[in-house]
Amino acid sequence: MPELPEVEVVRHGLEPAVTGATVTRVEVLDARSLRRHDGPGEDFVERLTGARFLTPERRGKFLWIPTEGSAEALVVHLGMSGQVLLREPAAERDRLTRIVLDVVSPGHGPVRVDFVDQRIFGSMALDALVPARDRPEQLIPSQVSHIARDPVDPLFDDDLFLRRLAAKDTGIKRALLDQTLVSGIGNIYADEALWAARIHYDQPTRALSRPRAKTLLAEVRLVLGRALVEGGTSFSSTYVNVNGASGYFSHSLNAYGQHGKPCPRCGRPIVREDFMNRGSHFCPWCQRVRSR
């Protein structure tokens, strides 16, 4: 599933093309991609046609584009394989295109925005904007209101995160994947940050000292930052940016997907263990469960 870096790369790519753009036409090719929209496809088309987009925003893995003069936004969730592609209006469509938006951009003229989704776990929806719980002056979609801020958000509260983490009674990786505690971190970047911080994925949160927790948070930010620079992580053609190009952070991975290969730090084999219907990748020598 696309994580924070992949969604931010898409948001950044959309920004110059859709900010200030007017939606001239909406076509829903597969209503299943409107599963999070409260209403039928006709409602989605009617409300979005003629809307003027503001600057795209993101929290964790959620992306949204507010519309001018209304208290709602177009919310985009990429799911497992969703793509948002910018195309020339006459360009050939991908056979897995689910929703098409024709827009006129102030800086780019007519542009086609295609929502492509192989597995149809992603979605588009129009959603009401509501005050953020921690900053009422900031408006976010109601579908995103339960999501915590992510570590690259300038308003992320380190001290609050560390206090809430210490109060949890779970394994550290489960905590990192809890989007109500901290958003945007998925399996890939959790494994990479834990490897960098030398912390076992099943380390109890109550037995994680504050200095080690602070180190882990710093490593999370470093991993996310490097992934952003490298355009995210692509293992197949399912994740691409708005121009259809793949990210290349997969070449920089130290733990995730590296089972059987030598640990870059100690040379012993990286192993994979089943974890929450997925896998955890770690070095048993460098990453041991500790009492503190």
* Residues sharing a CB contact under 8 Å with residue 223, sequence separation 6 or more, in sequence order: 189, 192, 193, 196
Residue 272 main-chain phi, psi, to 5 deg: -125, 130
Kind of pairing, strands 97-105 and 109-117?
antiparallel
Q: Of residues 2, 66, 141, 151, which has the active-site annotation?
A: 2
Distance in angstroms (rounded) separating the CA atoms of residues 209 and 112 = 50
Q: Of residues 52, 58, 61, 98, which has the active-site annotation?
A: 61
Q: Of residues 32, 135, 278, 288, which has the active-site annotation?
A: 278
Residue 215 main-chain phi, psi, to 5 deg: -65, -45
Burial of 251 (0-12, 13-18, 19+ CB in 10 A): exposed
State yes or no: is 2 an active-site residue: yes
* Residues sharing a CB contact under 8 Å with residue 109, sequence separation 6 or more, in sequence order: none
State yes or no: is 61 an active-site residue: yes
State yes or no: is 278 an active-site residue: yes
State yes or no: is 212 an active-site residue: no
Which active-site residues does the annotation give? 2-3, 61, 278
